[in-house]
Structure 1
Amino acid sequence: MTRASLRSRSEIPTARRVVVKVGSSSISGANAGQIAPLVDALAAAHARGTEVILVSSGAIATGMPYLKLDARPSDLATQQAAAAVGQNILVFRYQDSLRRYEITAGQVLLTAGDLENPTHRSNAQRAMDRLLGLRILPIVNENDTVATHEIRFGDNDRLAALVSQLVGADALVLLSDVDALYTRPPQEPGAVKIETVPVGDELAGVTFGDIGAAGVGTGGAATKVSAARLAAAAGTAVLVTSTANVAEALSGADIGTWFEPASLMREPSATGSIALG
């Protein structure tokens, strides 16, 4: 499938296929109530004909209270147990909210090995394409129940970038607790919002802190930059913003940090080389 070359945030509503990634801290625990407004935004995009894929973290965090855990478990077996319980509850919460719009969700659980194995990758791509063709909203997560430390994606920002490549998405929206990327952690004096990241921009002198609630999620600003570069290098435009701004993001508002896709690369003298970092 040929993806569109989006030139700005304002063109996101015209995208044929969009991947939205939301982190654990945004939709679990005290923030579980953010699922409803997130679904509102996804449903609005779905209603105008956009094919939407949601990459959602949160299985382990959602399962923790049911295992009577106060903190994210460090051992793999307990992480797997929490994920087994939490994934079921998380998808139920999404489907319960999507029912208001008569949208059906389809659960897709992947491991890094699935996307590295050509046969598994082809099967995943075919399944996703068919779900979208049937107007089903795929909800993708790492298969934490069977994934081992050796074959994990590392964080769902990277998973979202790889899914964007898999489905040929026009845009990837990476959501967190912060409205954009800044030159340093936004709570520090002198932090300046980064509006646009051209292809090949090394973001020299930028210092990234963590994004998300400590001990719940695994990603941060640095993982979002790495994932955004990976997706942008493959031709998918990327917007990094907060979960609270998802409706505005999908409506094309001038918010967040925009990563230009490689298909819009200017002359080499203006941008330098692509950094996948």
Structure 2
Amino acid sequence: MKKKRILLKIGSNTLTKETDNISRGKIEDIADQIAKLQDTCEFIIVSSGAIAVAKQFVKLESKHEEVFVKQALASIGQPHLIRIYQEIFREYGLLTSQCLLSYSDFEKQESKSNIVNTINVLVQNNYIPIINENDTVATDEIKFGDNDRLGALTASLLGVDLFIIATNTNGIYTKESINNGTPETITEVDNFDELRKQVVDSKSSHGTGGMQSKIEAAAVARKSNIETWILNGLEDHFLVNAFENITAFTKIK
């Protein structure tokens, strides 16, 4: 049976569980779920968190613009982030690899072919690629997207079966319910234009994206006929619960 290929995008707020430190417990939760689903699913992960990891270790002083400090923090934090993934995933019998990409890689046909071929080899050999923006050379993600767009571009390039964005809400809420203080999840989306009208944008505390960037990412995936799920990565067993339909989240058809 052909496995379902899933691109899972995990934001900094999910990885830190909305604290100032990377949560090893959350990464254990993710590894445990992937191990349980590996007979039917194969995963590619786009993970934020390099800057959040670095902030645990260092405080950089600089006269340069803030973006360069963030790039330096990303450079320090990225190897630590991958080491944490490798250590924890290995305990669950899972193999991982690191891929650093930037938007320019999606603009050249040769680069795109190399990405596809490399990731296919990794997945075929039971390695889970863990992808992050190459923040040292690219500034857009630090300032705007929190890897949502990178996840969508990668999902589209690879032609995955499902694009999952793990965030800190139970999907997308109706604007009226947010205004009333009783958030209500939009469970299924067929009319994308109507969905845009519902979005109340806000930035997350560690990431730089908000719900608007997730909608834009879903739009990119939608052009490639890829379904997007937006779900609450802070909850334990969030992937398994979504597949079993026992938790509220948004499906964008």
Q: What letter matches 2:13 in structure 1?
A: S
- Answering whether residue 230 of structure 2 is matched by residue 240 of structure 1, we say yes
2:109 to 107, 118, 124: 118
Identity %: 32
Q: In 2 relative to 1, CA 251–235 (structure 1 residues): closer, same or farther, beyond 3 Å?
A: same
Q: Which residue of structure 1 aligns with residue 93 of structure 2?
A: 102
**Cα shift readout 1:92-119 (whole Å, capped 9, x = no counterpart):** 1111111112211010110000111111
Q: What letter matches 2:120 in structure 1?
A: D
Q: What letter matches 2:240 in structure 1?
A: A
2:10 to 19, 22, 25: 22
Pairwise mapping of residues 179-218 of structure 1 onto structure 2 (< 5 A)? 179-184=170-175, 188-189=179-180, 191-203=183-195, 205-210=197-202, 212=204, 214=205, 216-218=206-208
Q: In 2 relative to 1, CA 131–199 (structure 1 residues): closer, same or farther, beyond 3 Å?
A: farther
* Partner Cα distance (2:249, 2:71) in 1: 34
Q: What letter matches 1:246 in structure 2?
A: L
* Partner Cα distance (2:115, 2:41) in 1: 20
Q: In 2 relative to 1, CA 69–193 (structure 1 residues): closer, same or farther, beyond 3 Å?
A: farther
* Partner Cα distance (1:246, 1:119) in 2: 34
1:256 to 236, 246, 249: 249
User: Could you tell me whether the CA contact under 8 Å between 2:22 and 2:53 is conserved in 1?
Assistant: no
1:82 to 57, 73, 76: 73
* Partner Cα distance (1:153, 1:205) in 2: 20
* Partner Cα distance (1:68, 1:202) in 2: 44
Measure how far apart 1:30 and its partner are: 4.0
Pairs aligned (count): 242
Q: Which residue of structure 1 aligns with residue 165 of structure 2?
A: 174
**Cα shift readout 1:221-262 (whole Å, capped 9, x = no counterpart):** 1111111121022111111011122331244546300011xx
Q: In 2 relative to 1, CA 166–252 (structure 1 residues): closer, same or farther, beyond 3 Å?
A: farther
Runs of at least 5 residues in structure 2 that lack an aligned partner in the other structure: none
Q: In 2 relative to 1, CA 124–232 (structure 1 residues): closer, same or farther, beyond 3 Å?
A: same
Q: In 2 relative to 1, CA 186–234 (structure 1 residues): closer, same or farther, beyond 3 Å?
A: same
Q: In 2 relative to 1, CA 185–200 (structure 1 residues): closer, same or farther, beyond 3 Å?
A: closer
User: Could you tell me whether the CA contact under 8 Å between 1:20 and 1:53 is conserved in 2?
Assistant: yes
* Partner Cα distance (1:150, 1:223) in 2: 11
- Answering whether residue 135 of structure 2 is matched by residue 144 of structure 1, we say yes
Measure how far apart 1:31 and its partner are: 5.2
Q: In 2 relative to 1, CA 149–220 (structure 1 residues): closer, same or farther, beyond 3 Å?
A: closer
Runs of at least 5 residues in structure 1 that lack an aligned partner in the other structure: 1-13, 261-277
Q: In 2 relative to 1, CA 27–109 (structure 1 residues): closer, same or farther, beyond 3 Å?
A: same
What TM-score results when the alignment is normalised by the length of structure 2?
0.86
Q: Which runs of 4+ in 1 moved over 6 A?
A: 150-153
Q: Which residue of structure 1 aligns with residue 125 of structure 2?
A: 134
Q: In 2 relative to 1, CA 77–134 (structure 1 residues): closer, same or farther, beyond 3 Å?
A: same
User: Could you tell me whether the CA contact under 8 Å between 2:11 and 2:146 is conserved in 1?
Assistant: no
Q: In 2 relative to 1, CA 149–160 (structure 1 residues): closer, same or farther, beyond 3 Å?
A: closer
Q: In 2 relative to 1, CA 143–153 (structure 1 residues): closer, same or farther, beyond 3 Å?
A: farther
* Partner Cα distance (1:187, 1:77) in 2: 36
* Partner Cα distance (1:156, 1:204) in 2: 20
Q: What letter matches 1:235 in structure 2?
A: N
- Answering whether residue 35 of structure 2 is matched by residue 43 of structure 1, we say yes
User: Could you tell me whether the CA contact under 8 Å between 1:177 and 1:211 is conserved in 2?
Assistant: no
Q: In 2 relative to 1, CA 185–110 (structure 1 residues): closer, same or farther, beyond 3 Å?
A: farther
User: Could you tell me whether the CA contact under 8 Å between 2:174 and 2:183 is conserved in 1?
Assistant: yes
Q: What letter matches 1:19 in structure 2?
A: L
User: SS state of the match for residue 195, structure 2?
Assistant: coil
Q: In 2 relative to 1, CA 201–233 (structure 1 residues): closer, same or farther, beyond 3 Å?
A: same
